[in-house]
Structure 1
Amino acid sequence: MEPRPRSFYALTAFFILFLVFLYGPTLTIGILSLQGPGGGLTFPMRGVSLHWFRDLFEQQAVGDIWGSFSRSLTLGLMVMVTTVVVSVMGGLAFRKRFVGATLLFYLIITSLVIPSILVSLGVGLIWSQSGLPVHWSTSGFGAQLTWTLPFGLLIMFAVFNRFDRSYEEAARDLGASPWQVIRHVVLPIIAPSLIGVALFGFTLSYDEFARTLLTSGSYNTLPLEIFGMTTNVTTPVLFALGTLTTVFSLIIILVFLLVVWLLNRRRARQGSNAGQGMV
């Protein structure tokens, strides 16, 4: 067995440092959230307990933690559903060439490079100048869609570029209507990709700060509430909140991955049954 070159160990060390840089802050917050009742915001730790997690579920003197959480959750679900529906419709529309398709495509993805705070300012001004109330469920919803829709559309463009149209042609030859082709052929095939778009939409909305800053109105979403708490909360309850929100995000990701795995397993089982039936 040949000895590994020195570059291997150098690159391994660099990769480990990258992982520490990537996940170190999150792990630090998780560790500090486990301090005892006399703990502070820095090391060294003063005891180990779940005191600050219990304190998080009690009435807080500052902040509206659970109200902001419910707003972020509701907003995330709204953005997720809208992103999935519009992305699928956009992906289907771009399968055929039409006048202005290229210009429209670049207009769609341009919002990704515009500074988020400018988008937030622009949407807030449009709502206020139109006499509409600036609210997280209206202007905040619209601002966040400028962030999630381009990602969803780009994913669907890639999916439909690889889509085998022979499945649709076979369904039409058997007498299926256009809606039946989409419902019974296209959507089941692209279902794992739709789950990916949904995950993008929800997670990008759930932790979005800049595009919500000037469009949420009088009620904060969870990222805005956490930012506000950093100026007046001086206990590890803030770390406990950060740990719980991180765990919640990981659970959401695992649920989506589980659904994708189940769909792929079901599809493989159906393909195996179909093959046995032909034999």
Structure 2
Amino acid sequence: MDETRRPLSFWVLAAIFTLFVVFLYGPTLTIFVLSFQGPEGGLTFPLRGLSTHWFETLWRGTGVIDIWASFRRSAWLGLVVMVLTTVISLLAGYAFRRRFPGQDLLFNLTIASLIVPSIVVSLGIALEFRLIDDAVKAYAEAHELAWLAEGYNSAMGLFTSGLGAHLTWTLPFGLLIMFAVFNRFPGELEEAARDLGASPWQVFRHVVLPLVAPSLVGVALFGFTLSWDEIARSSQALGDLNTLPLELQGLTSTVTTPEIYALGTVTTGVSVAVIGLSFLGVAIARRRAAAKLLG
């Protein structure tokens, strides 16, 4: 028997893995290719020409909705969610290293948002803010505050209800990452720093933060990309303004040209670019740290 011959199980597992990769990345690759259709191209194969016509059309605006306004809204919301997720996850992971009353309850409440269906979370947040709106309007009428009754519209918005909805999705992931990091954190390094006279802030800044910084990059990436692509939790919680994924979802029933594929390629490209720039930043930081250590 040829010992170099691979067993049947290898080929079965290889076929399953290949199908998995095709299923996972095939739709993205298909949209990417179809977005370069020529001016007479349609939404299916075969390609009719090869050009950047639909990207140029997208850049000029569709005439149906303001794509770039929703693009900016998604970008700003994603950045705010990224910062808050990173900071809160870091501080929470640091705090959870010591026992405190209600620790288990707080942890379970935080993780519970991953179990509850996203659309239910969105509906719950929308209902909560509608109750706030009703309370404000009732207060204005009861106290005859005409300026408040006439000028108040809604507390629901991009950086209120929308921000809260996205944080219910990103924070649990960030917390789980930081909990895992701090569970393996070498506490003797902090003890050595304290023995040398470092204050608690100095220990955190010069010992803890540099060691967990690579994990914080991962938390930041989770925060931005999960917010950037979020649909279900945004669907009922944003009020009158839509993010880019919601606009893209709406366009699927109104736009019948490869322009929608161009938009999908752009949104995917933003996520890939953010991840690539983050890895590049980490690599540069490591090289600088190594160069500083050597010389």
Q: TM-score, normalised on structure 2?
A: 0.89
- Aligned pairs for 1:111-126 within 5 A: 111-126=113-128
Task: Tell whether 2:82 aligns with 1:60.
Answer: no
Residue 49 (structure 1) aligns with: 51
Q: Which residue, 114, 119, 142 being the options, matches 2:164?
A: 142
Q: Which residue, 232, 253, 257 being the options, matches 2:275?
A: 253
Residue 240 (structure 1) aligns with: 262
Residue 218 (structure 2) aligns with: 196
- Aligned pairs for 1:84-99 within 5 A: 84-99=86-101
- Aligned pairs for 1:166-245 within 5 A: 166-245=188-267
Residue 73 (structure 1) aligns with: 75
Q: Which residue, 160, 164, 167 being the options, matches 2:182?
A: 160
| Alignment partners' CA distance in 2, 1:86 and 1:107 | 15
Helix, strand or coil at the partner of 1:44:
coil
| Alignment partners' CA distance in 2, 1:133 and 1:99 | 33
Residue 38 (structure 1) aligns with: 40
| Alignment partners' CA distance in 1, 2:269 and 2:56 | 16
CA displacement, residues 27-81 of structure 1 (integer Å, 9 cap, x when unaligned): 1111111111111111222111111011111132112210001000000000000
CA displacement, residues 179-229 of structure 1 (integer Å, 9 cap, x when unaligned): 111111111111101111000000000000000011111111000000111
The alignment's C-alpha RMSD in Å is: 1.4
The amino acid of 2:28's aligned partner reads: T
Identify the range of structure 1 (214-223 vs 129-138) with the bigger mean alpha-carbon deviation.
129-138
Helix, strand or coil at the partner of 1:95:
coil
| Alignment partners' CA distance in 2, 1:103 and 1:129 | 26
1:267 deviation in Å?
A: 4.2
- Please tell me whether the aligned partners of residues 192 and 263 of structure 1 are also in contact (alpha carbons under 8 angstroms): no
Helix, strand or coil at the partner of 1:211:
coil
| Alignment partners' CA distance in 1, 2:293 and 2:171 | 33
The percent of aligned pairs where both chains have the same amino acid is: 60
1:269 deviation in Å?
A: 4.5
| Alignment partners' CA distance in 2, 1:78 and 1:41 | 35
- Please tell me whether the aligned partners of residues 144 and 212 of structure 1 are also in contact (alpha carbons under 8 angstroms): yes
Task: Tell whether 2:285 aligns with 1:263.
Answer: yes
The amino acid of 1:67's aligned partner reads: A
Residue 21 (structure 2) aligns with: 19
- Please tell me whether the aligned partners of residues 61 and 67 of structure 2 are also in contact (alpha carbons under 8 angstroms): no
How many residue pairs match? The answer is: 273
- Please tell me whether the aligned partners of residues 86 and 216 of structure 2 are also in contact (alpha carbons under 8 angstroms): yes
1:270 deviation in Å?
A: 5.0
Q: TM-score, normalised on structure 1?
A: 0.94
| Alignment partners' CA distance in 1, 2:193 and 2:283 | 26
Structure 1: 5+ residue stretches without partners: 274-279
| Alignment partners' CA distance in 1, 2:17 and 2:288 | 37
- Please tell me whether the aligned partners of residues 88 and 156 of structure 1 are also in contact (alpha carbons under 8 angstroms): yes
1:13 deviation in Å?
A: 1.6
1:271 deviation in Å?
A: 5.2
Structure 2: 5+ residue stretches without partners: 134-153
